[in-house]
Amino acid sequence: MSQYDEYLGESLSALMDGEASDLDTRRVLKALALEDSQNAMLMRDKWRRYQSVSSVMKGDVVSKVDYSADITRAIAEEAVFKVNPLVKILSSSGRLAIAASVALVAVLGVQQFNLPAESTDQAAGFAYIDETSVEGLVGPANQLPAGWAMSEELQVRTVSADSVEKDIYSEEDARAYLAYVLAKHASKAPYVRSQGMLPYARMETRTTITDQE
């Protein structure tokens, strides 16, 4: 018995007693990995014997059948259910997308009322207009007309999360009022003949109209 086999025997014994170090465990596993080698066979026999002795000492039933080979084969033969990496990506990004859209809804819900008009990019995600016709169109600079300046005190205040108004006005009332003026405006705009029936298309629901007319 070589020095190595001696160490191996000690490691196996330690593993059996639950006192094996990392080095012991690794040494045993390494020997067992060489399945057909003399050492591996010996080790397996020894392990089985140790287990039997231990069972007898504890008064457990001792089986003489070696299941290990069958179990190994069964595991090898088991079909592997592979997961398509794309599905993984999709499902994870799906979760992300949902989370993102929930966040977006939350943000939009607030923004619609809180932010000045300029900062909400309503054009995002709009269907493509078929041609390049509008390319290069830049409207006139957003400038104030002659003789008019927007002073701080005249500025229209917007409702923001930290403004005092929020506490005074009910958001529900404010939203109802906004819906009302939008619908009322839509019902007024058809006076403009050049727009054809476009303004009608802006109308939201039947109730908003019948309530007013």
Partner 1 sequence: MAVFMTAIFVSVPVLAQQSKEAYELVEGMIDASKTLNYSGLVTYEKAGRLKTSKILHLNREDGTFQQLTHLDGPAGQFSWRRTSGDCELDTTQDKKADLLSTLTSSGFERLKASYTLEIRGQSRVAGREATTLLLKPKDSFRLPYFVAIDNQSNLMLMSVILSLAGKPLERFQFVEIEVGGDLDSMTVGDAELNAEVSCDAGSKPQPLGDWTVGWVPPGFLLTDSEKEPIIGESILSFSDGLSAFTVFIESVRMSKKIPPFTFSQGATAAVSAKLKNEEDEFTVSVVGEIPADAAKKIAQSVSHTSKLRKLP
Q: Which of residues 79-138 bind partner 1 (CB under 8 A)?
A: 112-113, 115-118, 120, 122-127, 129-131, 133-138
Report the residue number, 26 or 188, with the smaller CB distance to partner 1.
188
Report the residue number, 33 or 141, with the smaller CB distance to partner 1.
141
Does 142 help bind partner 1 (rule: CB under 8 A)?
yes
How many residues make contact with partner 1 (CB under 8 A)? 72
Supply the minimum distance, in Å, between the C-beta of residue 95 and partner 1: 22
Report the residue number, 40 or 159, with the smaller CB distance to partner 1.
159
Supply the minimum distance, in Å, between the C-beta of residue 146 and partner 1: 11
Show contacts with partner 1 in window 29-58 (CB under 8 A). Answer: none
Show contacts with partner 1 in window 158-187 (CB under 8 A). Answer: 158-159, 165-166, 168-170, 173-174, 177-178, 181-182, 184-185, 187
Report the residue number, 37 or 120, with the smaller CB distance to partner 1.
120
Does 196 help bind partner 1 (rule: CB under 8 A)?
yes
Instruction: Yes or no: say if 75 and 67 are a contact pair by the CB < 8 Å rule.
Output: no
